[in-house]
Structure 1
Amino acid sequence: MLTNWLSYFAGFFFFILCIHGCRDRDSARKTPPETNRFTLVELAKGLDEPMELGFLPDGDILVIERKGAIKRYSQADRAISIVDTLPVFHGLEDGLLGMALDPAFERNRWIYLFYSPDGDNPIQQVSRFTLDGNPLALSDEKKLLEINVQREECCHSAGSLKFGPDGMLFIAVGDNTNPHNQGYYNSIDERPGREYWDAQRTAANTNDLRGKVLRIKPEDDGTYRIPEGNLFPEGTPKTRPEIYAMGCRNPYRIAVDPKTGWLLWGDVGQNTIDDPSRGPISYDEWHLAKEPGFFGWPYFAGPNAPYSDFDYATGINGPFYEAEKPINNSPNNTGLQELPPAKPALIWYSYDESTEFDHLGTGGKSPIAGPVYHRDRYPAAGAAAGRKFPAYYDGKWFIAEWMRDWINVITLNDNGELIHIEPFLPDETFYHPIDLQFGPDGALYVLDYGTNWFAKNVDSRLVRIEYEAGNRKPITSAGADVTAGAAPLTVHFSSEGTFDHDKNDRLTYAWDFGPDIPASSDPNPVVTFEEARVYTVTLQVTDSEGAAASQTLRIQVGNSPPELTLDFEGNRSFYWDNRELDYRLQVTDKEDGSLHSGIDPASVKFYRLYGKADVFAESGAATSAGLELILNSDCRSCHALNEVSVGPSYYSIAQRYTGDSTTVDRLAKTVISGGSGVWGERVMSAHPQLTLEEATEMVNYILSISKVKIEELPLQGKHVFNLHPPEKTEQENYTFKAAYTDKGNAPATPLTTERSWTFRPTQIGAITCDGHSQCDLNAQTRTVRFNRDKAYILFRDIDLTGIQSLTLGADTAQAEGKVEIRMGKPDGELLGQAVVDSDRQITLPLGNRPVIGDIYVIYRNEKVKSAEDEVLYLKWIRFNR
């Protein structure tokens, strides 16, 4: 009897455990994880147009770059090095574009590359190489597939490579067609001599490999065979049996679900302006193909929205194409005329906010297909298991947006139908993510291309995003007061900013300064480095559960950085009309000497700028409505301040249109609608989400850059402040900049010091403050609204030499209270005060105090009860001699 009762309770207890276990697993799949459980680890920076990445069996990472370099990131050495460089043609959008490791790489060491061979023969090529150490065995190249292309006109090369779970190799090929046609609509220009503007000869041509995703089975002898299940059976007249998906424009990045075998890709769309008589507005797309098919281009876009059969010779619209029976009757078509029925995209979107799909954003467009995550493919135990993503993401598809700099996650049902889209780490900053792959450890690896097009960007990088399921690692912050100097060098290290998301964890610190220097467990140690060499200093922080994180610093001993000073008399913050500045630049370096002995004056750069010299420098101040709109838009994806990216520099735009009275309205409308042809054939994306007023603010700000005046100056002389206009509201800063790079002192490398000295006009806008508290800055009205007692704005490092009073330009229609001027901090020394009344200008006597410090303008009014109360609006501050 007792045995029966024990059996009953044991079974009941097991039943309860099962219920709770199932509930826990079900909850883990339904509940998004906290974003602070993800850590972004930067592995490498400064890559030169990275394209795709892949993983070696030992966990090392291969990265290819468009200009031909193949690089390897070593997990053990935490460093990236060049494996080899493939000679490629990298004009237009060509180059080394795709990479895939053979599924049996651990045995055969084979790697497949999609590249544009250097030379006069215009082809794209998929080749197999053997990677068994450095470098590649180039003599062992096996050419699987050649794709005939033209190199006379841009664009669309694609090039992504992916293996499916059955060993089939998918190859993405762009339509190799110039998109810069009339109206920037679908590329169907059939006029003689305009063949390269007709995508019907490529993407819609059943007998051409371009504008497709191909599917082949590589063979051991370096050839390939045609698998069953492609779009056209082998031997079908006027077709290529390699085709799996046709009707692609620029399928830039593809993925294959490793369980279902479904093909997924992002297709970069046209930059059309909305004209219903010709077809839909520009759509970019994400596709999912469970079977082969025709996916629309150049006849359909998005949800199979049709284009008209536009005649470029006559400018007349023909009938709209029919999705059920598309016909390719172009004279440039060498394939079948009747095409398979068109298949719509899974997701489509344009420049403005999508009404069909969530979380896609606005602005320019370039969709990137990332991987589908399957948790059971990754380690269940061991050190690497701690990085793998949680069960919540099991079966979900990761996508990215190259122009909009985000990563999203797509949930699909078992039939491949869209359930919903959600942001992934929306507060994280990405820099044009161009490839995403899950590594063998189950962490997500991201290649950031970087800000500017066709450039080696300092913000290009390889990062790992890892997940911490239980106890989280500490967030480590290591700093030093100096990182370079002569021997002996004393350095004060700091761990300030280090913290742990698990609040009850106790942290221990371990500083490693290299051989022969004692380690330290002090959070903020002080160390003297006696020998001249480069030291690698590592701070490792460990929590009470044993989880650790580290950060490395580089300390260079043996070479002191140069010192630059500008000697002059008088106020160091402001200029007055025709003020004369007798100056002398001093440059000294402990190893190089000075300008009088050892330093060549010609090696020192010294120049003066007047105007918005650092127009896109990050600042906490709301400098202007136009700048704020630019910084919050996608403008920087295509434009830089003084460098050509895919679009012209802001300086070039400002210089071209200075003095044209019709410019502002015309350019503002172009910003909204999009445009082309002025700066070559590149298209500027439309921005329909902007109002005309907002676009006007942006244009006005860009055009103001033309007022910047730059002049190189002698290292000693006299400068007269006379470039500014008489109207105080129009005056800008004068900035003097100096730079010197020393000669180094082996093993220490050369060091550069740059310094600047800025002189402001005596009347400055209130919203140009360096900090504020409990007040609102309005870039549109250029005012600061003080709506709390003790609210303030702050101006840093103000020289009051020769300043007798301050005048505040205010809107005080219903204001009360008083204004205080304090030095150093909000409750610091009181320099002056005045009662607020109906006067629009409030003057506060200061007396001549030759001091330099932070100036606080503080509003005092204990009667303020609500943030909605009418209080003080401040427009400007004038410093009076």
Structure 2
Amino acid sequence: MSIFLSKYSLLLGGLLGLGSIGHNFTTSKASTPKVYAQTDTLNRPDENRFTKTVLSNDLNEPMELAVAPDGRVFFVERAGKFYVYDPVQKKTRLLYDFPAKAVDKYLNGLLGMTIDPNFSKNHYLYFFYTIQDKEQTKQRIARFKVNDDSTLDIESEKSIIEFSIDLEVSAHTGGSMAWDAHGNLFISTGDNTVPFESNGHAPIDQRTGRPTFDAERSAANPNDLRGKILRIHVEADGSYTIPEGNLFPKGMAGTRPEIYVMGCRNPYRISVDPATSILYWGEIGPDAGTDSPQGPRGYDEFNQAKKAGNYGWPYFVGNNKPYFEYDFETKKIGSLFDPNAPVNNSPYNTGMKNLLPAQKAMIWYPYNLSSEFPALGVGGRCAMGGPVYHFDVSLNKKSKIPAYYDKALFVYDWMRNWIFAVRLDEQQNYQSMEAFMPKTGDFRRPVDMEIGPDGSIYLLEYGSVYGIDNEDARLVKIDFNGGNRKPIAQAYTSDSIGLAPLKVAFKGEKSYDFDKGDQLTYQWKVEGKVISNEINPTYTFNKNGIYKVLLTVKDQVGLSNTDTLTVKVGNTMPEVAISTTDNSTFFKASATSLKYAVSIQDKEDKLIDPKKVKVVLNYIPKVSKAPQMGHQQLTSTFSIGKNLIAGSDCKACHQINGKSAGPSFTEVSKKYRGDKTAIAKLANKIIIGGGGLWGDREMSAHPQLSREETTEMVKYILSLGNEPIENRVPQQGTLSLKEHVGKEQEGRYVLTASYTDKGSLVAPQGKAKTVLSLKKTDILVLRPTKIYGSEVDEIHNMNRDDKYLGAIHNGSYLVLKNIDLKDIEGLIYRFSSKDNGASIEVHTDALNGPIISTFKYSPTGSWNTYTEQKASVQPTTGKHDLYFVFVKKETPNKNLFNFEWVDFVYGDK
């Protein structure tokens, strides 16, 4: 999440102005795949068959790449550097530093590159970069020749096409290039328009002296090359001609013949299907998080152009959702623009006024969950159009992407860090989509993607934070393995800490191989010395120290994998335990206090140092409707705001201390220190977006976040730069529980106790002596007695929705883990059931465990008619996993129940 700047002005405006390449090096359609030995088009390959390898690391704002037929990978950085990765030497070399006009952090520069389809013969490369020509700033697409030794022939430069831009606009430069099957070059250009002061809607400000605030002068202007995708044919001498089928014929008044697609905001990445010559691109959409009187909220788009067309910006967005005519002087709302007959009446329009009908997007999605394309998720948006893959059965490369992905269009999102494979039907219309490597991809802001001539995927990853030299900016390659796979080594022990002599039982039995039937061997090493070849050996450490233990697992053909453990000898873990005479799972709605005690013991510390004891009580006012978190997760919820930020797109534009696209969180904390209204203001601003406080850049909206969530995020941000405020409490006593009183019961009280022992002096192998100090923590989490369906820990044979559980049948069950039933005498269910009565049995610790409650219910007559009914619970001590089992053996016994919540009822004392 970019809290104080717009992803569009920065991220998408300046930086995101270069292009994807559709660099396949054949002009004929790929061969029809035959039966594939490794996989086929019906069976989706296991994700673990894809391997991601880093080819070049530590890049600085990588922009675009191109793979030559011989495997060399050329790529550029925005500041002007042009590199080649040599696959033979496995090295990256700087070839040239372009004198590109890369203004401050966000504007222009060396934006893109592509490789000529006949590169093997002519050695031509094309670059898209910013130049200063006298008093005018321009974008130049130029052709260079590369020598056999990969050096760039600077004297060979031919300027193919240039167009002027308004340099003061820090937004939307485009910069992508691709080729079709006929040798035509496509070039994407952004609308070069200030997106601010239009409230995240259509920038159609026609006031005098404000041309850069009006996208009608560029994207909607048929006589301007900005906000377009151009199509030209480059001739041998560096001149270009206009192919048949562009949007406007050559010589037509008020138009430019180079235009193939108009009405673009920022077509940041484009590609062309080498088999069909159909154009695809990702369109970076406007910022508005909600609909307003000016028009619809913002959408990003994935677009397809089977022929030349007008794609509507700035009058329409998404599937032709129209904006209203809007007077920026009087704030008067006019009529809706007509997608069938848009008219450009802007005084800044230098071309014809009556425009062609607007074309709808192929895929469109907002910040919130898309009802049409829910798989794309929620969050920041930055759509990129990737390549279409054609499986070549004659290509003798075992690592090529399998036939399963034949004819799939790959698209990706810079902000959301995902890649999707889009499926098209025989008429090339959208059919479906599926995530590519959703679990193992670990994509770090994908910024350009290409299918190489070897059938593998090449990917530039920009890195975690926008506008800086990221450590994780890199060039990677994704290969497919259709044969034998490496085993997975998993080493563990429960005896990793203790006093010498320490006998440790190591376990390697959880190691496995994806290829069933492979014979595995095991080797354990301690500090480089082999100690065993058993699966589960034991070993005695006779001296104090800190030891590295390695388990190597190898299959029968020699592929191996290693896992590492650390064993610490010379100290034992302290014992820390929180106890309470009250219920240790729930607090009553009327609860005002908690009796507790923290006991601490340590075998080595004769006296417990109270300064090393830390007991803290925190109240989290609201947590997301999700299954209960385990102890390890809950220890971090003291800073729930920090966790929410870590799970969002904030770090794309903000760091804690360093400068990025937006201000650091520490700067924000200092700015609002002492402002009592800051939490409410900033929490709202994160949701609705806005700007003006940190320059002219805006923050995009985040309507998918709740007010409670953004409040916690702001609390965390404002705490930075200050000494942390902790609610430290004594080791024992009675705590006040009043923060939840009068509020909706969705919060948690979290009591944490920790002790760090004095440690002992040990000598790690080959190192100087050091103090081996150990810390132990215990945690007590008290939750409301009411548990919604969306919060239960496990479900079986039922569906989970926002709050509800449904499609519940005979034998379905849900599980609540680690529940203390002290003082609980009943359960209240809120449910609906159309016409099927049944029973709910509550078992402890297993499906067939003891039954402590049975609830026989009657139908409510309608799925929309909910009722609340109570069942008794047998007195039960200790903590238990509770299995709620639905029982109706006689038919009909399907679709029995809709479960909203269950409330644990305290008995009267």
Q: Same fold (TM over 0.5)?
A: yes
**Shift in alpha-carbon separation, 1:370–1:781, aligned structure 2, 3 A:** same
Letter in 2 for 1:656: K
The structure-2 alpha-carbon separation of the partners of 1:573 and 1:444, relative to structure 1 and needing over 3 Å to count, comes to farther
* Equivalent-residue separation in structure 1 for 2:425 and 2:129 (angstroms): 36
CA distance in 1 between counterparts of 2:754 and 2:263 reads 59
What is the deviation of 1:807? Answer: 11
1:407 maps onto 2:419 in alignment: yes
TM-superposed deviation, 1:277: 2.1
One-letter amino acid of the structure 2 residue matched with residue 396 of structure 1: A
| Cα distance in 2 between the residues matched to 1:573 and 1:681 | 52
CA distance in 1, matches of 2:448, 2:733: 46
Are 1:625 and 2:640 counterparts?
yes
Q: Is the 8 A contact 1:623 1:779 kept in 2?
A: no
Q: What displacement does 1:550 show?
A: 8.9
Change (3 A) 1:501 1:185: same
The answer (yes or no) to whether the contact 2:100–2:110 under 8 Å persists in 1 is yes
Which residue does the alignment assign to 1:99? 113
Matched position secondary structure for 1:130:
strand
Q: CA deviation at 1:367?
A: 0.2
Is the alpha carbon distance of 1:134 and 1:33 closer, same or farther for their aligned partners in structure 2, counting shifts above 3 Å?
A: closer
* Pairing 1:188-203 to 2, within 5 Å after superposition: 188-203=204-219
Q: Residues 434 and 448 of structure 1 are in contact (CA less than 8 Å); yes or no, is this contact kept in structure 2?
A: yes
How far off is 1:462 after superposition?
1.4
- Looking at structure 2, the residues matched to 139 and 187 of structure 1 have their Cα atoms a distance apart, in angstroms, of 42
Q: Sort the Cα spacing of 1:432 and 1:136 in 2 relative to 1 into closer, same or farther, 3 A.
A: same
Q: Deviations over 1:352-408 (max 9, x none)?
A: 0000113111111100111111002x7532xxx111112111111111110011111
Q: Distance in 2 between matches of 1:572 and 1:141?
A: 74
SS in 2 for 1:245: strand
> Is contact 2:294–2:324 with CA below 8 Å preserved after alignment?
yes
Q: How far off is 1:800 after superposition?
A: 8.8
Q: In the alignment, what sits opposite 2:282?
A: 266
1:66 corresponds in structure 2 to: 78
In the alignment, residue 126 of structure 1 is paired with which amino acid? I
Kindly provide the amino acid, as one letter, of the partner of residue 60 in structure 1: R
Please report the TM-score for the alignment, with normalisation by the length of structure 1.
Answer: 0.67
**1:675-690 mapped onto 2 (5 Å cutoff):** 675-690=690-705
Q: Secondary structure at 1:678's aligned position in 2?
A: coil
**What letter matches 2:190 in structure 1?**
G
**Equivalent position of 1:108 in the other structure:** 122
Please name the residue that 2:467 is paired with: 454
1:658-678, Cα deviation, whole Å (9 max, x unpaired): 221212122111111112112
C-alpha distance after superposition, 1:506-529 (max 9, x if no partner): 468999xxxxx9x9x9999xxxxx
DSSP 3-state at the match of 1:336: coil
**How far apart are the structure 1 equivalents of 2:783 and 2:344?**
71
2:678 pairs with 1:663: yes
From the superposition, tell whether residues 441 and 499 of structure 1 become closer, same or farther in structure 2 (CA, over 3 Å). farther
Say what the alpha-carbon RMSD is for the aligned residues.
4.3
The alpha-carbon distance between structure 1 residues 145 and 320, as it changes in their structure 2 partners (threshold 3 A), is same
CA offset at residue 203 of structure 1? Answer: 0.6
Question: Out of 380, 396, 409, which is 1:364 matched to?
Answer: 380
2:152 is paired with a residue of what secondary structure?
Answer: coil
State the match for 2:709 in structure 1: 694
Partners of 1:624 and 1:780 within 8 A in 2: no
Aligned residue number for residue 350 of structure 2: 334
The offset of 1:496, in angstroms, is 13
- Structure-2 change in CA distance of 1:475 and 1:796 (3 Å): farther
Choose from 420, 423, 435 the match for 2:432. Answer: 420
Q: How far is the alpha carbon of 1:291 from its aligned partner? A: 0.2
Aligned mates of 1:540, 1:439 — CA distance in 2: 34
Give the 3 Å change call, closer, same or farther, for CA 130–765 of structure 1 in structure 2.
Answer: farther
Which has the bigger relative contact order, CA under 8 A and spacing at least 6? 2
Tell me, in whole angstroms, the C-alpha distance in 2 between the residues paired with 1:232 and 1:59.
38
Partners of 2:642 and 2:278 in 1: CA distance: 44
In 1: Cα distance, 2:665 partner to 2:233 partner: 49
Amino acid in structure 2 at the alignment position of 1:728: R
Equivalents in 2 of 1:248, 1:341: separation in Å? Answer: 14
| 1-structure distance, mates of 2:777, 2:374 | 51
Distance in 2 separating the partners of 1:122 and 1:188: 23
Deviation for aligned residue 1:27: 8.6
Kept in 2, the 8 Å contact 1:256–1:371? The answer is yes
Give unmatched runs, 5+ long, in structure 2. 1-32, 492-507, 536-550, 565-606, 615-631, 736-744, 761-772, 786-819, 824-875, 885-901
One-letter amino acid of the counterpart of residue 716, structure 2: Y
Mapped pair 1:122 → 2:137: yes
In structure 1, the partner of 2:88 is 76
Task: State whether residues 746 and 784 of structure 2, in contact with CA within 8 Å, keep that contact through their aligned partners in structure 1.
Answer: no
The AA in structure 1 aligned to 2:197 is N
The answer to whether the 8 Å contact 1:230/1:244 transfers is yes
Give the corresponding residue for 2:665: 650
Distance 2:712 2:286 in 1: 27
TM-superposed CA distance for 1:681, in Å, is: 2.1
Structure 1 residue 864 displacement after superposition: 3.3
Report the CA distance between 1:704 and its aligned residue.
Answer: 1.6
1:462 partner amino acid: L
Distance 1:209 1:319 in 2: 28
Residue 504, structure 1, aligned to residue 517, structure 2? yes
1:735 aligns to what?
A: none
Match of 1:155 in 2: 171
Equivalent-residue separation in structure 1 for 2:351 and 2:782 (angstroms) = 73
1-side partners of 2:734 and 2:523: how far apart? 48
Report the residue type matching 2:653 in the other structure. Answer: C
User: What is aligned with 2:588?
Assistant: none
Q: Deviations over 1:332-352 (max 9, x none)?
A: 111111111100111111110
Partner of 2:48: 36
Pair 1:232 & 2:219 matched: no
Contact 1:255–1:370 (CA under 8 A) maintained in structure 2 = yes
Aligned partner of 2:458 among 421, 439, 445: 445
In structure 2, the CA distance between the partners of 1:257 and 1:865, relative to structure 1 (3 Å rule), is closer
The equivalent residue for 1:51 is 63
Q: Partner residue of 1:588?
A: none
* Residue 783 (1) aligns with residue 787 (2): no
For residues 562-711 of structure 1, what are the structure 2 equivalents within 5 Å?
574=611, 621-708=636-723
Cα deviation digits, residues 669-712 of structure 1 (max 9, x gap): 11111121122222212121222112212111221223238xxx
| Distance in 1 between residues matched to 2:734 and 2:488, nearest whole Å | 39
2:294 to 270, 278, 292: 278
Q: Is the 8 A contact 2:39 2:45 kept in 1?
A: no
Q: 1:184 is matched by which residue type in structure 2? A: G
Uncovered stretches (5+) of structure 1, i.e. residues with no partner: 1-20, 479-494, 512-516, 525-538, 554-569, 578-616, 710-723, 730-760, 767-777, 785-792, 815-834, 839-859, 874-881
Q: Deviations over 1:709-740 (max 9, x none)?
A: 8xxxxxxxxxxxxxx78x525xxxxxxxxxxx
Percent of aligned pairs with the same amino acid? 40
Q: 1:352 aligns with which of 368, 387, 390?
A: 368
Query: CA deviation digits over 1:722-763, x for unaligned, max 9?
Result: xx78x525xxxxxxxxxxxxxxxxxxxxxxxxxxxxxxx979
**How much does 1:152 deviate?**
1.6
Alpha-carbon shift at residue 131 of structure 1 (Å): 0.9
Give the aligned residue type for 2:700: S
- Structure 1 window deviating more from structure 2 (502-511 vs 235-244): it is 502-511
Deviations 1:636-666 (A, max 9, x none): 2222111222222111111111221212122
Amino acid in the other structure paired with 1:689: Q
1:191 deviates by 0.8
